[in-house]
Amino acid sequence: MHDTDGTPSRRFGLPTAISLVMGNIIGGGIFLLPASVAPFGTVSLLAFGVLTVGAIALALVFGRLAERDPRTGGPYVYAREAFGDFAGFLSAWSYWTMTWVSNAALAVAGVGYFHVLTGGTHSAGSDLLVALLMLWLPALANLAGTRWVGAVQLVSTVMKFVPLLFVAVVGIFFFDPKNLGSFTEGGGNWTGGLTASAAILLYSYIGVESAAMSAGEVRDPERNVGRASVFGTIGAALVYLLGTVSVFGTVAHDKLVDSTAPFSDAVNAMFGGEWGGTLIALAAVVSIVGALNGWTLMSAQAPYAAAKDGLFPAAFAKKRRGVPTAGVLAASVLATLLTVVNYLLGSGGVFEVLVLVTTFSATVPYLLATAAQIYFLLIGRREQVRPARLTRDLVLSVGAFAFSFWLVAGAGYKAVYQGVLFLFVGILVYVWMAARRPAGESGRRAGSEEAAQAGPAGAPAATEAVTATEAVRP
């Protein structure tokens, strides 16, 4: 596999693909999650379990879709093949805006952990400098090529996974059931607590699509995308669940509800002293930088795939060393501008609105991709497939669609409202690109290198009948 400049690119193996999924799922939020859900009681652990099942179903669907069409772009590719250019564009536009806005939010969150780690004084200027370093160091790793992206992702995932797993495992030996509190706090109905805690936890699994989004850079994507998606999601779930249980059992509930650093409090409760804060702050900084490394790559993949089809500007379709450089630069510059606005102009309202946009924008590609899988299954020749297999995949796809729909509902009215407005802005971009396209050109990616690599499984649905055998093959 070579790039447009003729240089060979290194493709991700299964361990790197798994670390990409895990690294993107586990950002900075894990370090506050136990305190965030503690007010609802231990019913929140049940909510985690339910969400994990939904996330794994979504991961399995992405694996199935990648078997059929293993090209870079993941959800965008599937939506476009099933429903046409406009649906594909909306998927790519939503995903792209979500990535660069959330990158700015991650960098800002990382500054707080950096101060805990260093313990020094800070100002708006120094905070901005630290945030920009967190944005641009991962961007430089991406610009250096897939070799560096994979190396940074693998190392950072191990570095943040080990201390979190350490707290989770060692916490078992310090576990005290008296610290747990009640199943439902406040005497409310357990279903209400389940729903309320799930609304907070829903976005803990954003990133499950990462391997599918970079399928063109994954070695043997027909097999490894699905495996990386499932194994990465399960790995993240283990960290989430075991870590939260450990914190619940080592930190007294009344203290945990008001905690601003629950994992640090857990370490301090186990071993005494105050060194736990420094350890967890280091893990948090590494976690956020690793997540920024992976999400910077994701920010370039959706526009790259759309640009190959003429739905984004052509500059986004060019790669160097396996990475779409224009996409990396554009997302990094936009995230930088948003970060500067946050620190220098104090426009917290603008920043808050854009963060709300991301909570909705992340769900649009999921809904379209799971709907595409349902579509592919329903249009196939069902008489050629064993009914049990077709039923199994339909149930799985409908479950993943329901999980994605739950994500939309959990975003809240304000997030959906702001997100839909921002989504509609993208229509102007689509109109502009459609008007520039030569008459009669559909934008199909005929004869592209990735489509050729994909083989028959990557053939467009509009030009080749999609049989149920292809759609649900093991």
Whether residue 10 is predicted with pLDDT greater than 90 in this model: the reply is no
Give the whole-angstrom CA distance, residue 57 versus residue 209.
Answer: 12
Task: Pick 272 or 313 by higher pLDDT.
Answer: 313
- What is the pLDDT, as a whole number, of residue 136? 92
Determine the distance from the C-alpha atom of residue 211 to the mean position of all C-alpha atoms in its chain, rounded to a whole number.
Answer: 10
- What is the pLDDT, as a whole number, of residue 191? 75
- What is the pLDDT, as a whole number, of residue 381? 53
Whether residue 108 is predicted with pLDDT greater than 70 in this model: the reply is yes
**φ/ψ (deg, to 5) at 316:** -70, -15
Q: Is 106 in contact with 292 (CB distance < 8 Å)?
A: yes
3-state secondary structure of 23: helix
Whether residue 369 is predicted with pLDDT greater than 90 in this model: the reply is yes
Whether residue 471 is predicted with pLDDT greater than 50 in this model: the reply is no
Whether residue 79 is predicted with pLDDT greater than 90 in this model: the reply is yes
Mean pLDDT of all residues in 313-340: 89
Mean pLDDT of all residues in 361-376: 91
Whether residue 223 is predicted with pLDDT greater than 60 in this model: the reply is yes
Whether residue 454 is predicted with pLDDT greater than 70 in this model: the reply is no
Whether residue 455 is predicted with pLDDT greater than 50 in this model: the reply is no
The owner of tokens 């790197």 is 16
The listed range with the strongest mean pLDDT (72-86, 198-212, 242-256) is 72-86
Of 244, 183, 229, residue with least CA distance to 35: 244
- What is the pLDDT, as a whole number, of residue 453? 44
Give the whole-angstrom CA distance, residue 98 versus residue 357.
Answer: 7
The listed range with the strongest mean pLDDT (27-31, 150-154, 190-194, 205-209) is 205-209
Mean pLDDT of all residues in 330-339: 92
- What is the pLDDT, as a whole number, of residue 438? 67
- What is the pLDDT, as a whole number, of residue 462? 36
Compute the mean pLDDT over every residue in the chain, rounded to the nearest whole number. Answer: 80
| DSSP per-residue letters across 98-150 | HHHHHHHHHHHHHHHHHHHHH-----HHHHHHHHHHHHHHHHHHHHT-HHHHH
- Confidence band for 68, pLDDT divided at 50, 70 and 90: confident
Mean pLDDT of all residues in 132-140: 91
> Which pLDDT tens digit goes with each residue over 36-53?
888 888 888 888 888 889
Radius of gyration of the chain (CA): 22
Least confident of 100-114, 229-243, 325-339: 100-114
- Confidence band for 5, pLDDT divided at 50, 70 and 90: very low
Q: Are strands 319-320 and 323-324 parallel, antiparallel or unpaired?
A: antiparallel
Q: Is 240 in contact with 25 (CB distance < 8 Å)?
A: no
Task: Pick 439 or 434 by higher pLDDT.
Answer: 434
Mean pLDDT of all residues in 285-307: 88
Whether residue 319 is predicted with pLDDT greater than 50 in this model: the reply is yes
- What is the pLDDT, as a whole number, of residue 385? 53
- What is the pLDDT, as a whole number, of residue 280? 79
Q: Is 157 in contact with 22 (CB distance < 8 Å)?
A: yes
Burial group, residue 91, by CB count within 10 angstroms (0-12, 13-18, 19+): buried
Q: How many residues does the chain have?
A: 474
Whether residue 332 is predicted with pLDDT greater than 90 in this model: the reply is yes
Give the whole-angstrom CA distance, residue 236 versus residue 48.
Answer: 12
Task: Pick 187 or 55 by higher pLDDT.
Answer: 55
Task: Pick 121 or 8 by higher pLDDT.
Answer: 121
Q: Is 50 in contact with 278 (CB distance < 8 Å)?
A: no
| DSSP per-residue letters across 456-467 | GGGS-TTTS---
- Confidence band for 348, pLDDT divided at 50, 70 and 90: low
pTM above 0.85, yes or no: no
CA dihedral sign of residues 298, 31, 274, 161: negative
Whether residue 143 is predicted with pLDDT greater than 70 in this model: the reply is yes
Whether residue 444 is predicted with pLDDT greater than 70 in this model: the reply is no
- What is the pLDDT, as a whole number, of residue 275? 72
Q: Is 213 in contact with 5 (CB distance < 8 Å)?
A: no
Of 276, 272, 291, residue with least CA distance to 28: 291
Q: Is 431 in contact with 336 (CB distance < 8 Å)?
A: no
- DSSP code for 11: P
The listed range with the strongest mean pLDDT (5-9, 29-33, 153-157) is 153-157
Give start and end residues of each alpha helix (H) in 144-188: 146-170
